[in-house]
Chain A
Amino acid sequence: MNEPTHADAQARAGIPARLVEAIVAFLIFALGGLVVYDSHRLGSSWAADGPESGYFPFYVGLLLCISSAIILVRAIARPVMRGELFVTWGPLKLVLTVLVPAIVYVLAVQFVGLYVASAVYITVFMMWLGRYSALRSALVGFGVCASLFVMFEIWFKVPLFKGELDPLSFLGY
């Protein structure tokens, strides 16, 4: 008897929407505070030659603070969103399976450059998530990057990032 309800509860478990709403509103508020602070530092009033640098951003920051404060208060005080979920654990896992490799990929780009990192990224992603054979994945990864290379470096003459280690330097581009 308990089995299905348990599974049900698990499917419905996740991060509450109100929590995320409150965190995001707080972050926006903090950002608004930063803007106000820096605008004030630069001078947010009227100088001899006209408005100072912080004149406009000061009010932008102020509006950021006001709007996010209202969103924050509503998220905490209003019962409307109670029980609503931002995302359940299952889909969140799926999102992370895209996001985490993407972060690793960008980190790899930093060192080995766009072409090498992209080829490896596509290959690994296909093998891991798509369960393709290593050969097929590697062929797609290499193929995509080779065509990108031809398109950017040779055809449009737009050099892409080769990374700090520059493993493709032997190609002469």
Chain B
Amino acid sequence: MVELSALFQGFSVVLTPFNMLLMMIGIVLGVIIGVLPGLGGANGVAILLPLTFAMPPTSAIIMLSCIYWGALFGGAITSVLFNIPGEPWSVATTFDGYPMAQQGRAGEALTAAFTSSFVGAFVAVVMITFLAPMVAKFALRFGPPEFFSVYLLTFCSFIGMGKGSPWKTLASMMLGFALAAVGMDTVTGQLRLIFGFTELMRGFDFLIAVIGLFGIGEILLSMEEGLSFSGKTARINPKVVLETWATLPRYWLTSLRSCLIGCWMGITPGGATPASFMSYGVAKRMSRDGAKFGTGQIEGVVAPETAAHAAGTSALLPMLALGIPGSPTAAVLLGGLLIWGLQPGPLLFVEKQDFVWGLIASMYLGNVAGLLVVLTCVPLFAAILRIPFSIIAPVIVVICAIGAYTVHNAMLDIWLMLLFGVVGYVFKKLDYPLAPLVLALVLGDRAEDSFRQAMLISQGDLSVFFSNALVGSITALALVMLVWPLVSRAIARVRAGTPEIAT
């Protein structure tokens, strides 16, 4: 129970008036970000990151992670009331959430959504509390080859588990690696891929990419869809909340299943969005009322929301324990750690106990605070969406531009942000996944360093990645993940092909 005492230590770090205030600011900002189109968890955190440079790292991460929780909660509001998912992971919530709102059961749907978000996040945080220190302790034995094999596993599972074309995932990921390589080589000091443009010496900052890809790209996309907000009104009163809470325990099995799906998808870089869809699909198949899904079943709200939050939260586990983020937002938080001068990785648990446990404690408190804030202030947040798009759109572009500028105080970054915005729009339309690009951009240098160090150890012999049981099994797992689509397609083809041959 070392973890529990460490956790209480963490609570003592968080429970100062200053940190509590930052937590509330973070939650409120996060919900607003989640409600607004074009601003989401990843780019919202990226834009606000420069404001925290002067803060102590613990306070900064508390505020930023609370923005993330807030954004997770906020996505549900727009899904239920407006049938517009504020975040990709709340798309599945619209399936049953909006029909419920149409039937005048918006309060019920929102309460169910918020509560199951909370349950999902809570289970994930409990898991982080006990699992993360173990993983970190285990990872302390890792050398460069082991680390590279874990990176390999992360990236291979993107290719293998991605829904779209694996070649597009690969292209998008390699684009991230290529952009990460631009600038000064950390080992030899040589300038790479700058082709004489000295401004590029700094390299491409992933924060700029995130703000452009997710912020500007999203604005262009929502403009194309021609947004017209015509939402349902929500009235949440304590009576509705209590009545809904009374019905929720009936769905404990769905909840538990969704938590498991979410935690698994969060730790492996599946992310919150596929987790929510998968959980909705599984719930539909397993539920007795499965056929009625899509017509306003409360279970159809519980399943995706629980999984999305569980996944969003547990994405922080690999970031904390291994220094490998499980989602774009976790990647931005990881970038924050680097900026505040902390070295992400297993040593964080040994050297920066206050920071790690403060963060974990703030996850508990942040989610409780988030639940209270969204339950009490839904009408206020919904009102934000009634601000016409012709006001919101330029303001968001301005905020993105400021966010991009403040990262390095460089005008060039605003241009790059705009470029990334167009790229984000085109990539989204062509089904290139953006998450691998961002993760590769964040991890590119570190993956390359560990690869080169591993190569130095072995004098250029690739067999170092199979040199002992640990690294060998991780590498093997990575390769299995990589070829998984081929394997599953082959199986499917054999199964589908047999009857044809027979006839």
Contacts and interface: CB of A to CB of B under 8 A. Distances in A.
Interface stretch (B19-27, B164-172, B355-363): B164-172
Interface in B413-438: 414-415, 418, 421-422, 425-427, 429-430, 432
A46 B178 contact: no
A71 interface: yes
Interface string A100-142: 0111011001100010001001100110011010000000100
B167 A67 contact: yes
A20 B402 contact: no
A71 B175 CA distance: 14
Given A31-B175, A130-B390, A161 B409 contact: yes
Contact of B175 (A64, A125, A148, A161): A64
Interface string B373-411: 000000000000000101101110110011001100101
A9 interface: no
A61 B178 contact: yes
Interface stretch (B94-102, B186-194, B281-289, B314-322): B186-194
B178 A53 contact: no
A67 B452 contact: no
Contacts of A106: 401, 414-415, 418
Contacts of B422: 99
A87 B406 CA distance: 34
A51 B195 contact: no
A67 B171 contact: yes
Interface in B141-200: 165, 167-168, 170-171, 174-175, 177-178, 181, 185, 187-188, 190, 192-193, 195
Contacts of B226: 91, 94
Contacts of A67: 167-168, 170-171, 174
A95 B225 CA distance: 9
A132 B401 CA distance: 24
Interface string B244-283: 0000000000000000000000000000000000000000
Contacts of A91: 224-226
B205 interface: no
B220 A114 contact: no
A105 B193 contact: no
B330 interface: no
Contact of B178 (A35, A42, A86, A122): A35
Interface in B73-116: none
Interface in B213-232: 216, 219-220, 223-226
A118 B403 CA distance: 13
Contact of B411 (A34, A35, A74, A161): A161
Contacts of B195: 34, 38
Interface in A132-172: 132, 140, 144-145, 148, 152, 156-161
A13 interface: no
Interface residues of A, number: 67
B187 A125 contact: no
A60 interface: yes
Given A50-B456, A60-B174, A129-B390, A42 B192 contact: yes
A95 B165 contact: no
B452 A51 contact: yes
A11 interface: no
Given A28-B175, A126-B390, A130-B391, A56 B451 contact: yes
B418 A64 contact: no
A70 B169 CA distance: 12
A127 to B, nearest CB: 9
Contacts of B452: 50-51, 55-56
B192 A53 contact: yes
B167 A87 contact: no
B350 interface: no
Contact of A122 (B225, B394, B430, B460): B394
Contact of A71 (B171, B181, B216): B171
Contacts of B432: 24
A132 to B, nearest CB: 8
Interface in A16-53: 17, 20-21, 24-25, 28, 31-32, 34-35, 38-39, 42, 46, 50-53
B455 interface: yes
B402 A51 contact: no
Given A17-B430, A98-B220, A158-B406, A140 B171 contact: no
Contact of B224 (A25, A70, A94, A144): A94
A126 B451 contact: no
A87 B178 CA distance: 29
A114 B400 CA distance: 11
Given A63-B170, A95-B224, A50 B192 contact: no
Identify which of B54, B394, B421 gathers the most chain A CB atoms within 10 Å of its CB: B394
Contacts of A130: 388, 390-391
Contact of A32 (B174, B223, B394): B174
Contacts of A158: 50-51, 406
Nearest to A29: B171
Given A71-B167, A102-B418, A109-B401, 15 more contacts: A20-B426, A32-B174, A51-B456, A53-B185, A56-B181, A56-B452, A64-B175, A68-B167, A94-B226, A102-B421, A109-B411, A122-B398, A125-B394, A130-B390, A156-B54
16 contacts: A28-B171, A32-B174, A35-B181, A50-B452, A57-B177, A57-B178, A67-B170, A91-B224, A92-B224, A102-B397, A106-B401, A106-B415, A109-B411, A122-B394, A156-B51, A158-B51
Interface of B: 50-51, 54, 165, 167-168, 170-171, 174-175, 177-178, 181, 185, 187-188, 190, 192-193, 195, 216, 219-220, 223-226, 388, 390-391, 393-395, 397-398, 401-402, 405-406, 409, 411, 414-415, 418, 421-422, 425-427, 429-430, 432, 448, 451-452, 455-456, 460
Give the 4 A-B CB pairs with smallest separation, nearest first: A130-B390, A125-B394, A67-B171, A91-B224
